Structure 1
Amino acid sequence: MEINDVLYGRHQLDGVLEELIKSAPVQRLKGVYQGGASFLVNPKWNVTRYEHSIGVMLLIKRLGGTIEEQISGLLHDVSHTAFSHVIDFVFENEAEDYHENIFQQVIDQSEIPEILKQHGYDADDLLLNDTRWTLLEQPAPELCADRIDYTLRDMYQYGQITLREAEIFLDHLVVRNGRVFPDGIETAEWFVRVYYKEVIDFFMNPVNVYGYEYLAQTLKAALKHNVIAAEDLLKTDQEVLGILHSSENDEVLRLLEKIHPHILVKEDDIHYDFHRKTKMRLIDPSIFFHNEWITSSSVSEHIRKMGEAAYRKAKKGVYVKVIEN
């Protein structure tokens, strides 16, 4: 099969990767939007988990990762529920890792273990210890394929960077001991600036925060009134929305009506309707400088100040005033 990715171009895939891509769990991700409620309040915020998963796989390939790590990259998000991280707000999960907690269950109940077995792989060995895959995942504030792809993909799709800028950045990544790093301080500064556009200007956009708040309320009400069950959350976004819209529950329908692209909100930390904090997301990638590995903020005042500003913003959260909904 041929994959044509907006960031990484055309690739021919066959064997285990082709079969996994065609599997039901991966195909479901075409109907799960990465931004959670974002597409409901702004149709342009429409990157899917499928696009991101394919992208992570291809980025790992570009960085020289093994076929095993590419498989893990492709499958790392298959347990994301409908509406992605909105579910963490529904279940008041501050770590925002609900999908990780159900990962093994989703894998075990799918055709993925059998596909892997037919190609000589053991699902548990390959997928249940992601510390082996050092290109795929690294704890913040370092870079990794997952963090790089969703940042570049979202910020390109939403008009914050160009394809040329993304390509230049990708050309300036280096791999050392199975980990990915910027090749110098200019590369690090560019990515840190773009990453905080993602975290602050997109994730913490008051319109986006509004969508999360009201969709979480809607799903809480739907679960409370048995309009949906927990297992329904492993359907697509549109399938769950269909259940909600066809329900006859007044509370669910009233809340659902408040989520649309024409709402007007603003940040106002005095006269606000609700306050929302999200997971702390900071970036400070290591670079090789004067023959030693150091954090980029230790040599870049610009990165240090961006990190401090992002920390203050995350600690404060977003105070949303609804003007019209």
Structure 2
Amino acid sequence: MIITDRIYGEFKVDGILEEIIRSKPLQRLKGIHQGGASYLVNPNWNVTRYEHSIGVMLLIKKLGGSLKEQIAGLLHDISHTAFSHVIDFVIENDEEDYHEKIVKTVIEGSDIPNILNKYGYDYKEIVLDDSVWTILEQPAPNLCADRVDYTLRDMSAYGQITPLEVRLFLENLSVKDGKMILHNIEAAEWFTETYYKEVIDFFMHPLNIYGYDLLVKALKASLMKQVINLDDLLRTDDEVMDILRSSEDQEILSIIRKIHPGVIVKEDPCSWDLHRKTKIRIIDPEVLHEGILSNSSVLSQNVRATGKKILKKAAEGSFVRIVSDEKKVIIR
């Protein structure tokens, strides 16, 4: 199998990695969007968990990570429900880790254990403890393959960064003692700025907040009225939307009719209709400077200032005013 990725280029993948990629659980992720409700209000916000999972695996491979860690990277989002983290708002899970809580159940109900066993691997060793995979996952504010890939992938897809910028950043990225580091402060400053573009200009974008808010309301009502159950959320985004649209429940239909690309919203802290705070996300890459590893905030005033800015924004949250939620009808 030849994979051509928008971030990392062309790679040949075979054996266990190819079998996992072709498996039903991985293929389902083609229908799970990274941004949850975002694709419903802006069709261009369409990066999927499948693309991201492939990307994480390729980044680990590029950095010299073991085959086991590549497998872990490929499987790390396997249990994401439809609309990704929207479910965490539906069930009011502040840690935003519902997919981690159900990963054992999801894996055991799939053919993944058999695929791994065929090649001599135990799924429990690979999937159930991310802490052993130090390239794949790190606690904030460190770099890790998961955090780096979704930032580069989203910001590249949405036109916020260029291919040249991505290439120069990756050239300065390596692994030391099992952890991602950068080799100059300029790369750290660039990634910090890019990561906060992801947080503020995408995660906290007023249109994204609007879509999340209404989809959360629709899913809460659907669960309460037993139009769907939690197992239904292990389908794809579009399959769940089809269930909601065919429900004939007027409350649910009234909500989802307002989730469409024609919505006009703006940030307005003085006159707002929606206010939402999201999980605080901080980054502080480690940099190898004069032979010593240091956090970039120690070396850079820009990184420190940007970090303060994001903390302030996260504490305030997003204030969204709905200018128009009417769907335009095109008469031909």
CA deviation digits over 1:62-119, x for unaligned, max 9?
0000000000000000000000011111111111111111111111111000100000
Task: Give the deviation of 1:211 after TM superposition.
Answer: 0.4
SS in structure 2 at match of 1:322: strand
User: Quick one: distance in 1 between partners of 2:140 and 2:10?
Assistant: 30
In the aligned structure 2, how far is the partner of 1:219 from the partner of 1:207?
A: 18
Show the counterpart of 1:316: 316
Aligned counterpart, 2:100: 100
Normalising by the residue count of structure 1, what TM-score does the alignment of the two structures yield? 0.99
User: Aligned partners of 2:174, 2:30: CA distance in 1, in Å?
Assistant: 31
Deviation at 1:190, TM superposition (A): 0.6
Paired with 2:77 and 2:166, the residues of 1 have a C-alpha distance of 23
SS at match of 1:321: strand
The aligned counterpart of 2:264 is 264
- Over residues 167-220 of structure 1, what are the superposed CA-to-partner deviations in whole Å (9 max), with x where a residue is unaligned? 111011121011111111011001001000000111100011000000110101
DSSP-derived class of the 1:30 partner: helix
Instruction: Please report how far the alpha carbon of residue 290 of structure 1 lies from its aligned counterpart in structure 2 after TM superposition.
Output: 3.6
Q: What is the CA distance between 1:300 and its match in structure 2?
A: 0.5
Cα distance in 2, alignment partners of residues 66 and 281 from structure 1: 28
SS in 2 for 1:105: helix
Q: Name the counterpart of 1:24.
A: 24
> Structure 2-normalised TM-score?
0.97
- What is the CA-CA distance between 1:7 and the residue it aligns to? 0.9
Could you tell me which residue of structure 1 aligns to residue 247 of structure 2? 247
Q: State the match for 1:185 in structure 2.
A: 185
> % of aligned pairs identical?
58
Counterparts of 1:58 and 1:209, CA distance in 2: 31
Alignment RMSD (CA, Å) = 0.8
After superposition, give the CA deviation of every residue in 1:211-240 in whole Å (9 maximum; x if it has no partner).
000011010111111111110000000100
Cα deviation for residue 289 of structure 1 reads: 2.4
CA distance in 1, matches of 2:231, 2:70: 28
1:125-140 correspondence runs (5 A) = 125-140=125-140
Counterpart of 1:77 in structure 2 is 77
Please, which runs of 5 or more residues in structure 1 have no aligned partner? none
Q: How far off its partner does 1:270 sit? A: 2.3
Question: What per-residue deviation string (whole Å, max 9, x for no partner) do you get for residues 109-165 of structure 1?
Answer: 110001000000001012111111000000110100000000000000000011121
| Separation of aligned partners in 2, 1:257 and 1:194 | 33
Matches within 5 A, 1:39-188: 39-188=39-188
Equivalent position of 2:307 in the other structure = 307
Going from structure 1 to structure 2, the CA distance change for 1:290 and 1:13 (only over 3 Å counts) comes to closer
Task: Report Cα offsets for 1:221-277 as digits up to 9, x if no partner.
Answer: 111111111100000001001101111101100000110111111111222112100
Equivalent position of 1:11 in the other structure: 11
Taking the aligned partners of 2:35 and 2:82, their CA distance within structure 1 comes to: 11
